[in-house]
Structure 1
Amino acid sequence: MPQLLLLIAAGAGLILVRRYFKKEQARIAADLRAAKEANERRDLDHAVPLEQDPATGVYRPKRTH
C-alpha cells in the first residue's frame, strides 16, 4: 500500500512540474515574440533607403537634396 501512495504522489508531482514548464515555455515564447516584433519595428524605423550609383553599380545611402 505505501508503494501505491508513493506512486500516486510521484505522478501528481510530475503533473504539477509539467504544468509549470508548459506555462514557463509559453511565457518565454511570448517574451521572445514581443522582442522580435520590437526589433523588426526598430529596423524598419531606422532603415536608410539606398540608391545604385549608375557609374559603379555600388549601392549607397540615398542623398537628400
Structure 2
Amino acid sequence: MSAKLISNVPRLVLWAAGTVAAFALARIVRNEFERVNAELDEARLTPVTERAQHPTLRRDPRTGIYTL
C-alpha cells in the first residue's frame, strides 16, 4: 500500500502545482483585462473637443502615403 501512495505523490504535487499556476495566470489576465478596460473607458469619456485637437492622417491619393 505504501508503494502505491509514494508513486501517486508526484502526480498529486504536479496537479497541485498546475492548479496554482492556472489560478495565478487567471488573476494576471483578469488584472490586465480590467486595466485595459479602464483605459478604454477613460478614452471613451474624453470630450470630443479634446480629440478634435489631435491631427488626423490624410492619405495622398497619388502616392498612397499617409501624412499629417
TM-score band, normalised by the shorter chain?
A: 0.5 to 0.7
The runs of 4+ residues in structure 1 deviating greater than 4 Å are none
Q: Any gaps of 5 or more consecutive residues in structure 1?
A: 49-65
Quote the offset at 1:46 in angstroms: 4.2
Secondary structure (helix, strand or coil) at the match of 2:34 reads helix
Root-mean-square deviation (Å): 1.4
TM-score normalised by length of structure 2: 0.63
Q: Which residue of 2 aligns with 1:52?
A: none
For this pair of structures, how many residues does the alignment match? Answer: 47
The code of the aligned residue for 1:42 comes to A
Cα distance in 1 for residues equivalent to 2:48 and 2:19: 43
TM-score normalised by length of structure 1: 0.65
Q: Any gaps of 5 or more consecutive residues in structure 2?
A: 50-68
